[in-house]
Chain A
């Protein structure tokens, strides 16, 4: 019996979909059966981040409406045999699925998979209600900015009210040089304000844009700083005790030279 984990944030654009794609890929890299569920109906994106947009036949709404069986809508990943995506519908809206239907879907999926990762839409309306309906655990993604932290706090409150306990925090896009000069909130500051457990910290990394351009999660690139941070998170989810990676690593002279000349691997 698998585990259903929702990835949510309140605010949009903080990296929910990137986080879902990378953690899911990381869990599959370690041999787990994983399904990623895109619950952002009307604004689906997990398919493009995973590079699977051309393979979609059926979607989540087709499944709950009974147009196809659940297995028919699952898209197999290009790279890992045990990684699947259940895409959102692009032409419907949030009301096309109810929280009860979502709960049933998650129940069914966790019979088959070790991890069911639900990518939540931004906001606190029905899309969010759907996303959390079947989840046992929640990962809150935030960035070190006032608006994102405020929304994360609201989401934590709503999850508590729903009786979902112990959400954990992913701090995304931390810019170490800004923290160092006092112009960005640090890890401790955010843990102190939000008072939840830290799951991991993702440093700002230009490679995320490149990886999204290509439809290949950054976790597949060992040279990507963000990719390595996601790798650590996916191992922590499996119960491993992985220390936070040092963030004060400036690019080496050789790396800077390579970038300058356009030969960079990044």
Chain B
């Protein structure tokens, strides 16, 4: 922004604003175009997390949530039980790591 504009109180170049707004709106649009997208993602999440804990996949929710300048993937995954076997295994691994 040059001095002239600053004195007049004008704002800076608007191109960056346009790009940023587009980037955010397209995240929503692209996911929204295919409702399967979040479904497939959800199934993959269930598969991975199930190796570590028992989850209530019927009441699990995966959504996009947007605020002013960011979009976040928000997953709400109710846990029923953490698998004991795996905890024991990771602990054993920690103990065998040479100091």
**Residues on A facing B (Cβ under 8 Å):** 145-146, 149-150, 153-154, 157-158, 161, 179, 181-186, 189, 193
| Least CB separation from B12: chain A residue | A182
Question: Interface segment, B17-25, B41-49, B57-65, B84-92?
Answer: B17-25
Known: A150-B29, A154-B29, A154-B33. A182 touches B18 (CB 8 A): no
Instruction: Name 28 interchain pairs, CB-CB below 8 A, sorted by A.
Output: A145-B18, A146-B18, A146-B21, A146-B22, A146-B25, A150-B22, A150-B25, A150-B29, A153-B29, A153-B30, A154-B33, A157-B30, A157-B33, A161-B33, A161-B34, A179-B15, A182-B12, A182-B13, A182-B15, A182-B16, A183-B13, A185-B15, A185-B19, A186-B15, A189-B19, A193-B19, A193-B22, A193-B23
For B, the interface residue count at a CB cutoff of 8 angstroms equals 16
**Residues on B facing A (Cβ under 8 Å):** 12-16, 18-19, 21-23, 25-26, 29-30, 33-34
Interface of A, secondary structure class, is helix
| Least CB separation from A181: chain B residue | B13
Which residues of chain A have C-beta atoms less than 8 A from B14's C-beta? Answer: 182-183
Which residues of chain A have C-beta atoms less than 8 A from B22's C-beta? Answer: 146, 149-150, 193
Tell me the total A-B contact number using a CB cutoff of 8 A.
43
Determine if A183 and B15 form an interchain contact, defined as CB atoms under 8 angstroms apart. Answer: yes
Q: How far is the CB of B86 from chain A (nearest CB, A)?
A: 40
Which residues of chain B have C-beta atoms less than 8 A from A186's C-beta? Answer: 15
- Expressed in whole angstroms, the Cα–Cα distance for A161 and B32 within the complex equals 13
